[in-house]
Amino acid sequence: MSGRQVSLEEVVAGLSSEARLSQAAEARAGALLEHLQSVQPWYVRAMVGFGAWLASLFVIGSVAGIGIAVGGVTLLGIGLVVAAVALRKQSDNDFLVQSALAGSLAGQAMLAWGIADLTGGNEELLCAMIIAISAVLFFVFPDRIHRVLSVLFAASALTALIYLLEMNALVPVLGPAFAGALVMVQEKRSRLIAGGFGELVRPLENGLMLSAFGCLMLSTVYVLPELGLDFVVYPRPWISTVLLGALFLYVGSRTWPPLLEHAGKAAAPGVYALMVLVIAVAWAVPGLLLALIVVMLGAATGNRSFVGAGIAFLTLFITAYFYAIETTMLTKSITLIATGATILLARSVLLHLLSPAPAGARHAGDPA
Amino acid sequence: MGNSATPATHATVHELAIALTLDEPAYHRAVELAQLRPRPDWLHYLDRFLAAVGALLIAAGIAAFFAWNWADLHHFAKFALIEAGIVAAVLLAWRLSIDSTGGRASLFVAAFLIGVLLAVFGQVYQTGADPYGLFLAWALMILPFALVGRQPGLWLLFQLLLNLTLIMYWTQVLHPPSGWWQLSQLLGPLVWIGTTTLDSRLASWLFALNAAALVTWEFAAARGVPWLQGRTGPRIVGTLAFLTVLGPTGVLSVVASAGESTNLTILSPVLFAAALAACLWCYQYRKADLLMLTVGLFRLILVIMALAIRHLTFDGAGVLLVFALLLVAQVAGAAYWLKGVSRRWQAAA
């Protein structure tokens, strides 16, 4: 994760020299490298995307302006989604990709509206339908962003369904469940790619990560007592801490061993003791553990997006937590300083435990 | 195919694995070859991560502590705290060296705290001075920092303060707002500052201020000043310059007519056209910058769409379809042209 940046060309050359690529695969690698070189920079794609979204909304507005009969919204929604899927399968052109994305989302919104209309506002059924539609579109719509959104829609609908069914006790389990699924997908990544499911892996990982973040953010929601609501948004956050703590230790058990090879004997027990200490400190703050899990997953696989997302979530979560928590500024101040000091102390202990013994270290009895 | 190599990141290695349907051992080998596994120097990153998180939490805790009893503090204590912060930040910058990342950050914090000190001074003594004085004094007081620090961040802060000084001087001394313009203050400072550019005269002065800064920056960068070689600074200043004339041009295109009553004059569209022409020429032939070309074209598209919305007024849903087609044509044309420019640069390289 440092030093000179290796190029993809070097990776292909390395695989090729080790006879891991067939002739056909080498040709495909050449085509891929050429394709990656010709990809427009993000800002050109952003401009094209903006144009496509706005143009799609103009078209949708134009169609909607014609006037639709009862039930027509549902049919129009289905039509838009089907057309968007067909369009996306036909082309990788930036403009058409974004148009298809906007068309599909507008179609799904119309479809949800139509379903709500037809079922007389049955919210539970609507949530179930959103989960089903998102699950189907995850496989059918061949677009990375759309797939991430499908996972997010399904996760949001599932969370809403749990609240609607008044099963709030399950809410603290949701975030850890999404995080657990994320860890599982990461572990099966190479098998999924070899099995031809590679296109699904990254959107699924990103969707699960964002869903877990969203669920844990619910634990920072503070309902004003003055409102008199008999509603607990996130009951017993310690359940999340226990589940995420177990996952934290599991991810650690997969990440640390290769890194501790050159450290002393006390390193492994010391590291796990510190992990348990972190779990204890995070008893009421489960988001801290989720952020650390995501950072560890990212660091272990060279995925800088995950490292960045974990750090960003940590900042957001701690800010939201301390903003919402019902304590005085003095208590918040003491807690923040104590946590910061603990982390700095943990850093010193970790560095001491993990530093490899220097070459030619003095032995007992050597002259000073 | 271009000349530059594609970096082997987590994402590109994944793309490669999908395209070649790599089996499990080959995928793991590709990850190893790309050096995506943590390397022996990972301790260095862990050290920095934990140090940054710990320091951030302690800083937030100190801020929370002062927020807890700020109102009860004697004003001398408030001044002493802020001044101690400035001195500490300057000493830290000196200790770490002003060319290091930590030194640059410390010097920037010191420059920022000067503004906080001036604001608290005004709060305590209620001097009755116009707020433009705060921004002007702040800008002048950080000028030595910017000269010594040689970092784009400080010059950007200086430029921002000059913009705010001009806006405040115009709106508080020369032409205090009235009517709906005054009402926009209720929507927050950012909205209000945005609406101040709907006076073409102020917008033109702001444009001149930012355009002059941009030209100076680009000239110095072209002369080889090492700390001005990054592109973020000129892009921000260039965007500011464009924004000051885009707002009045866009509004003029959609709703208003040029005239005394609205303070929107033909000067803004003229400056917009001049800025666009200069942008397309300079960043194509003098200093290759595809982002600035994209920004320029995007703003042209916005103005053309604003004109279309004003002038294509026939009834029915069909007009939306015309807007969609017009937008598609413009965006596709812009992307095609940008691709051509990029290829031309690659061929010339």
- Dump the DSSP string for A294-325: HHHHHHHHT-HHHHHHHHHHHHHHHHHHHHHS
Token pair 């014609």: residue: A66
Residue A357 has pLDDT above 60, yes or no: no
Q: Give B290's contacts in chain A (Cβ within 8 Å).
A: 41, 43-44
- Interface touch B38/A300, C-beta < 8 Å: yes
Residue B211 bridge partners (DSSP): none
Distance CA A294, CA A65 (A): 46
Contact B251, B213 (CB under 8 A): no
- Interface touch B45/A299, C-beta < 8 Å: yes
- Phi then psi for residue B259, to 5 deg, are 180, 170
Residue A329 has pLDDT above 80, yes or no: no
- Phi then psi for residue B7, to 5 deg, are -65, 140
Angstrom distances, CA of residue B41 to CA of A19, A57, A343, B37: 30, 50, 20, 11
Distance of CA A335 to the CA centre of its chain: 28
Split at pLDDT 50, 70, 90, the class of B180 is: low
Task: Give the model's pLDDT for residue B186.
Answer: 67
B19 touches chain A (CB under 8 A): yes
DSSP string, A40-92: PPHHHHHHHHHHHHHHHHHHHHHHHTT---TTHHHHHHHHHHHHHHHHHHH--
Residue B264 has pLDDT above 80, yes or no: no
Q: Which residues 254-313 of B are in CB contact (within 8 Å) with A?
A: 290-291, 294-295, 297-298, 301
Contact B298, A48 (CB under 8 A): no
- Mean pLDDT (whole number) for B298-310: 88
Q: Which residues 304-343 of A are in CB contact (within 8 Å) with B?
A: 304-305, 311, 314-315, 318, 322, 328-330, 332-341, 343
Task: Give the model's pLDDT for residue B298.
Answer: 92
Task: Give the model's pLDDT for residue A277.
Answer: 85
Q: Which residues 75-134 of A are in CB contact (within 8 Å) with B?
A: 94-95
Q: What is the average pLDDT value for chain A, to the nearest integer?
A: 83
Split at pLDDT 50, 70, 90, the class of B64 is: confident
What is the biggest distance separating any 2 CA atoms in chain A, rounded to whole angstroms?
95
Distance CA A343, CA B55 (A): 9
Of A161-170, A320-329, A342-351, give the lowest mean pLDDT range.
A320-329
- Interface touch A337/B45, C-beta < 8 Å: no
- Interface touch A191/B19, C-beta < 8 Å: no
Residue A136 has pLDDT above 60, yes or no: yes
A41 touches chain B (CB under 8 A): yes
Task: Give the model's pLDDT for residue A279.
Answer: 87
Split at pLDDT 50, 70, 90, the class of B163 is: very high
The interface predicted TM-score of the complex, written ipTM, equals 0.78
Task: Give the model's pLDDT for residue B295.
Answer: 92
Task: Give the model's pLDDT for residue B42.
Answer: 66
Most A CBs within 10 A among B4, B293, B320, hence the mutation to make, goes to B320
Contact A270, A349 (CB under 8 A): yes
Q: What is the average pLDDT value for chain B, to the nearest integer?
A: 83
Task: Give the model's pLDDT for residue A69.
Answer: 59
Split at pLDDT 50, 70, 90, the class of A66 is: low
Residue A326 has pLDDT above 70, yes or no: no
Q: Identify the DSSP state of B40.
A: T
Contact B321, B331 (CB under 8 A): no
Task: Give the model's pLDDT for residue B35.
Answer: 82
Task: Give the model's pLDDT for residue A128.
Answer: 94
Model confidence, pTM: 0.75
- Interface touch A48/B31, C-beta < 8 Å: no
**Percent above pLDDT 90 for chain A:** 29
Split at pLDDT 50, 70, 90, the class of A171 is: very high
Nearest to B113 by CA among B130, B144, B91, B90: B90
- Phi then psi for residue A228, to 5 deg, are 65, 30
- Phi then psi for residue B32, to 5 deg, are -65, -45
Distance CA A240, CA A223 (A): 20
- Interface touch A9/B6, C-beta < 8 Å: yes
Residue B209 has pLDDT above 90, yes or no: yes
Split at pLDDT 50, 70, 90, the class of A170 is: very high
Of A82-91, B42-51, B136-145, give the lowest mean pLDDT range.
B42-51
Residue B7 bridge partners (DSSP): A7
SS3 B126: coil
SS3 B108: helix
Task: Give the model's pLDDT for residue A217.
Answer: 92
Most A CBs within 10 A among B23, B53, B69, hence the mutation to make, goes to B53
Task: Give the model's pLDDT for residue B166.
Answer: 92
